[in-house]
Amino acid sequence: MGRCGERVADGSVDGVIEVNELTKRYGGTTAVNGLTFTVRSGRVTGFLGPNGAGKSTTLRLILGLNAPTSGTVTVHGRPFRDHRRGLRHVGALLDAGDVHGGRTARAHLTALAVANRIPRTRVAQVLAEVGLSGAAGRRIGGFSLGMRQRLGIAAALLGDPPVLLFDEPLNGLDPEGVQWVRGLFRGLAAEGRTVFVSSHLMSEMEHTADELVVVGRGELIAAESLPEFAARGGSHSVTVVTPEPAALAAALTAEGGTVREADGVLSVTGLKAAAIGELALRQGVPLHELTPRASLEEAFMELTADRVEYTAGGAR
């Protein structure tokens, strides 16, 4: 699809989206409060927070659709609104519903392409890439949410931009669609592009993002790599199923692990899955299941819960 693969040439990780002390108030409501973070190129950055955390507002501020109450936000060092045309700089899917239902998918994309002096041939390309070629002549009003998400992704890809923003892109997609979107994001990042994806579900980001920006109540909770964030979730646990739980539990405890048993299923902390497997082999204990539990979800829940508690009880 004619992307510029050379962007990745030096594996650059420079800050592309720079959010600095960004604050947005609507009347008496503070949607975003002193937010500062950087999104870098060549990786997928997840933008995570519970509903109402200010994610969509932040994305609108990045795109200049809304003006900040204070603070700045730049893309490649410039406020986005300084560009006369946007699609070659930033491709964005804010809300799959931000389309006129009376138009066909082709007409919608063609108007966007024409306004940005993008060749009309590109419309068929992006429609094919998102799997909507067969629906190009149909009116968007009859599209399912999943199809609208695909159309929004097609619009974001139109200008072959180095920066892509997606707000909750997985909503309404079927499992095949989710897999496809994850692969697409990873591919875009591998080409050196900056991919910034919001979600309110940690599980969606777990297999997609390299970096996380986590917000709650409009404030920054964390901006770090996925493993760093996972480490905040406290102890990792491993679920172990064995026909000889008592024997294995004793061996694990002797090895320094902490074991909790419920209905014959062991929940082990303090030992990695590999160590548990090797220990079981040495002890001759058969294992039916050995599953490391991701603590990302836990970390996310803990941190955002803290934030809600903190803001509700503290002085604002």
Partner 1 sequence: MTAATLPVAEPRARFVDLLAAEWLKFWSLRSTPWFLLLAGLAVVGFNVGSAYDHYRNWQYYDAESQANFVANGLPLVDAFTSNAELILLLATSALGALAVTGEYGSGSIRTTFAAVPARGSVMAAKACVVAVVLTAFGAVVAGVSFWLSQALLSARDAGVSIDHPGAWRVVVASALLAPVSGLVGAAIGAVVRHSATAVIGGVVVLPLLPTFFSEGRYWSATIRHALPERAWRELTRTVDWGGTPYPMTTGGAWTVYAVWAAVAFVLTVVAVRHRDQ
21 near partner 1 (CB under 8 A): no
Size of the site for partner 1 (CB under 8 A): 53
**Closer CB to partner 1, 100 or 282, in the complex:** 100
The piece of 57-65, 204-212, 220-228, 246-254 that touches partner 1 (CB under 8 A) is 57-65
Distance CA 66, CA 24 (A): 9
15 near partner 1 (CB under 8 A): yes
Which of positions 143-162 make contact with partner 1 (CB under 8 A)? 155, 161-162
Distance CA 248, CA 147 (A): 50
Other Cβ atoms closer than 10 A to 243? 11
82 near partner 1 (CB under 8 A): yes
**Helices of type H across the chain:** 55-62, 105-115, 121-129, 145-157, 175-190, 202-206, 226-231, 245-254, 273-283, 296-313
Instruction: Tell me the DSSP string of 99-165.
Output: S-TTSBHHHHHHHHHHHTT--THHHHHHHHHTT-GGGTTSBGGG--HHHHHHHHHHHHHTT--SEEE
169 near partner 1 (CB under 8 A): no
Distance CA 22, CA 18 (A): 10
**Considering the complex, what minimum distance in angstroms separates the CB of residue 113 from partner 1?**
8
14 near partner 1 (CB under 8 A): yes
5 near partner 1 (CB under 8 A): no
C-alpha neighbours within 13 Å on the C-beta side of residue 149: 16
Other Cβ atoms closer than 10 A to 225? 14
Q: Are the beta carbons of 128 and 119 closer than 8 angstroms? A: no
Distance CA 112, CA 159 (A): 9
3-class DSSP state of 315: coil
**Considering the complex, what minimum distance in angstroms separates the CB of residue 270 from partner 1?**
42
User: From the list 49, 50, 86, 218, which residue makes contact with partner 1 (rule: CB under 8 A)?
Assistant: 86
**Closer CB to partner 1, 33 or 304, in the complex:** 33
Give me the 111-130 binding string for partner 1, x by CB under 8 A, dash otherwise.
xx-xxxx-------------
The piece of 58-66, 125-133, 170-178, 223-231 that touches partner 1 (CB under 8 A) is 58-66
308 near partner 1 (CB under 8 A): no
Provide the binding-site residues for partner 1, judged by CB under 8 A: 7-8, 10, 12, 14-16, 41-42, 60, 63-67, 76-77, 80-90, 92, 94-95, 97-104, 107-108, 110-112, 114-117, 139, 155, 161-162, 192
